[in-house]
């Protein structure tokens, strides 16, 4: 079956841009021949494939005409939305934060669910592989909440588990020693705020970036709190962190169960927490998969390959290895 679609010059330019990345992704994911010449897009292949491709292209055309930037990951997002009978425009039009012309918004249906879960729940857990936007989207929501005075401060924290035996060899005081473990959080903040504004927030304590050990004994009111790399917390640390929650605060916990750096005989607080807290109102759990990875498409394949390898070669962490 062959079908020829006539598209606007604007849409044709968007589809042909970035070294044909969108067209390549369409071909890879849809399993039919797709050629663009001028403003004529030709679809050729088995009838079901061509019909599916036409539906995806029509959705992408509407996104471009609505002013949205599209890329290779857009194809996966559109396919996922069609599979789940979701409106892809509701995903892309949910702009969380704008900075220097850059819009931060969900890029997959699951990311949209995650953003909505954070808005609706006091505590949200996001569990999934790297590149799925778990921390980045949470930080964008935190920055927006601070800027709109929904909270008085943002607190970002991570466990520094790898620092155990090497921390003493690093120069400087304790904050200088743990800085390398917190650096990714600073990098994300610089993506969302001008350096002067970020410095002002940090000087007055409106944004705090600190290792998890610094949370002990505190009560965190009127705060948007993000615990990153939570797979490297012990069950005791997870309990300690969650009980820091005060009035008017929101908590987001992110982690990847496939990247645990704890000693083999130590359980991860992230792996046990859903069984303990999963039935409590006000707490949400969102799970991401390789299909939600929004980096280069080969990263999706790497994540999935490692997941399959781990399943075949090693029992999951946190379970009785003798069973």
How many whole angstroms separate alpha carbon 283 and alpha carbon 252? 10
For residue 272, what pLDDT band results from cuts at 50, 70 and 90? Answer: very high
Same domain flag for 148 and 257:
yes
pLDDT at residue 317 is higher than 60: no
Is residue 302 pLDDT above 90, yes or no? Answer: no
Segment among 85-94, 220-229, 273-282, 291-300 with least mean pLDDT: 291-300
Most confident of 59-73, 116-130, 159-173, 205-219: 116-130
Question: Does one domain contain both 38 and 176?
Answer: no
Report, as an integer, the average pLDDT of 185-192.
90
- Other beta carbons within 10 angstroms of residue 121's beta carbon come to 18
* CB half-sphere exposure, 149, CA atoms < 13 A: 0
**C-alpha 16, offset from chain centre:** 27
Q: Could you tell me which residues come within 8 angstroms of residue 285 by beta carbon, excluding any fewer than 6 positions away?
A: 124, 125, 127, 274, 278
Number of domains present in the structure of the chain: 2
Which of 68, 92, 116 is the last residue before a domain boundary?
A: 92
175 falls in which pLDDT band (50, 70, 90)?
low
- Answer with the one of 92, 113, 137 that is the final residue of a domain: 92
CATH of the domain at 175: 3.40.50.300
Higher pLDDT residue, 95 or 68? 95
CA–CA gap between residue 4 and residue 129 (Å, rounded): 38
Decide if pLDDT at 31 tops 90.
no
| 69 and 26 belong to one structural domain | yes
Are 116 and 253 in the same domain?
yes
pLDDT at 320: 40
Residues 57 and 158 in one domain: no
Residues 156 and 201 in one domain: yes
Strands 223-227 and 250-255: parallel
Q: Is residue 164 part of a domain?
A: yes
pLDDT digits (tens, 9 = 90+) for 41-52: 899 989 888 888
Query: Of 31, 106, 103, whose CA–CA distance to 74 is shortest?
Result: 106
Q: Do 68 and 151 lie in a common domain? A: no
Is residue 297 assigned to a domain? yes
CATH of the domain at 31: 3.30.1370.10
Q: How confident is the model at residue 319 (pLDDT cuts 50, 70, 90)?
A: very low
| 319 lies in some domain | no
Reported confidence tier of residue 296, pLDDT bands at 50, 70, 90: low
User: Are residues 242 and 145 part of one domain?
Assistant: yes
pTM: 0.75
Shared-domain flag, residues 84 and 101? no
136 falls in which pLDDT band (50, 70, 90)? very high
Q: Would you say residue 30 has pLDDT above 90?
A: no
Contact at 8 Å (CB) between 283 and 127?
no
Determine, yes or no, domain membership for 318.
Answer: no
Q: Is the pLDDT of residue 108 over 90?
A: no
Are residue 37 and residue 113 in the same domain, yes or no?
A: no
Q: For the residues 203-213, what does the mean pLDDT come to?
A: 91
pLDDT band at 323 (very low <50, low <70, confident <90, very high): very low
- H-state helical runs in the chain: 9-30, 47-65, 72-83, 88-92, 109-120, 134-147, 174-192, 195-203, 235-242, 269-277, 297-313
Q: Please state, rounded to an integer, the average pLDDT across all residues of the chain.
A: 84
**Structure-model confidence comparison of residues 183 and 307, the more confident one:** 183
Same domain, 232 and 265: yes
The verdict on residue 155 lying in a domain is: yes
Question: Looking at the domain assignment, is residue 124 inside a domain?
Answer: yes
Q: What is the mean pLDDT of residues 170-195?
A: 76
Q: Is 201 a member of any domain?
A: yes
Render pLDDT for 56-82 as a digit per residue (tens, 0 to 9).
Answer: 888 888 888 777 777 767 777 787 777
Mean pLDDT of 268-277: 94
Exposure b/e, 174-206, CB count within 10 A at least 16 = b: eeebbeebbeebeebbebbbeeeebeebbeeee
Residue 292 lies in a domain: yes
Q: Identify the weakest region by mean pLDDT among 2-6, 18-22, 165-169, 290-294.
A: 165-169
Kindly state whether residues 44 and 101 are assigned to the same domain. Answer: no
Q: Which of 318, 142, 309 is nearest to 228 (CA)?
A: 142
Tell me the C-alpha distance between 123 and 223, whole Å: 12
Q: State which residues form the domain around 290.
A: 97-313
Distance CA 307, CA 323 (A): 21
Q: Are strands 40-44 and 2-6 parallel, antiparallel or unpaired?
A: antiparallel
Domain end call among 72, 92, 112: 92
What are the phi and psi torsion angles at 228 (to 5°)?
A: -100, 155
């Amino acid at each position: 079956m062959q079908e020829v679609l006539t598209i606007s010059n604007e849409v044709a330019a968007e589809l042909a841009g970035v070294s044909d990345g969108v067209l390549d992704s369409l071909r890879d994911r849809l399993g039919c021949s797709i050629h663009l010449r001028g403003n004529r897009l030709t679809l050729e292949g088995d009838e079901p494939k061509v019909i599916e491709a036409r539906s995806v292209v029509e959705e992408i055309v509407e996104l471009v005409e609505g002013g949205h930037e599209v890329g290779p990951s857009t194809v996966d997002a559109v396919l996922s939305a069609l599979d789940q009978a979701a409106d892809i425009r509701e995903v892309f039009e949910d702009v969380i934060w704008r900075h220097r012309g850059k819009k931060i918004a969900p890029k997959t249906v699951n990311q949209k669910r995650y953003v909505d879960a954070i808005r609706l729940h006091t505590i949200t857990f996001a569990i999934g592989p790297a590149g799925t936007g778990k921390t980045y989207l949470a930080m964008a929501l935190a920055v927006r909440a601070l800027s709109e005075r929904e909270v008085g401060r943002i607190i970002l924290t991570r466990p520094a588990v790898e620092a155990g035996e090497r921390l003493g060899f690093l120069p400087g005081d304790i904050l200088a020693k743990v800085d390398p473990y917190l650096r990714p959080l600073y990098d994300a903040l610089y993506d969302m705020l001008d350096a002067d504004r970020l410095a002002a927030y940090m000087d007055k304590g409106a944004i705090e970036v600190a290792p998890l050990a610094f949370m002990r004994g505190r009560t965190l009111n009127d705060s948007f709190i993000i615990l990153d790399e939570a797979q490297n917390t012990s069950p005791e640390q997870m309990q300690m962190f969650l009980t820091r929650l005060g009035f008017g605060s929101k908590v987001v916990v992110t982690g990847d169960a496939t990247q645990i750096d704890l000693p083999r005989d130590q359980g991860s607080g992230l792996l046990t927490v859903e069984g303990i807290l999963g039935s409590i109102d006000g707490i949400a759990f969102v799970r991401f998969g390789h299909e939600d990875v929004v980096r280069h498409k080969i990263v999706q394949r790497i994540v999935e390959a490692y997941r399959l390898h781990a399943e075949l070669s090693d029992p999951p962490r946190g379970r009785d290895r003798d069973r």
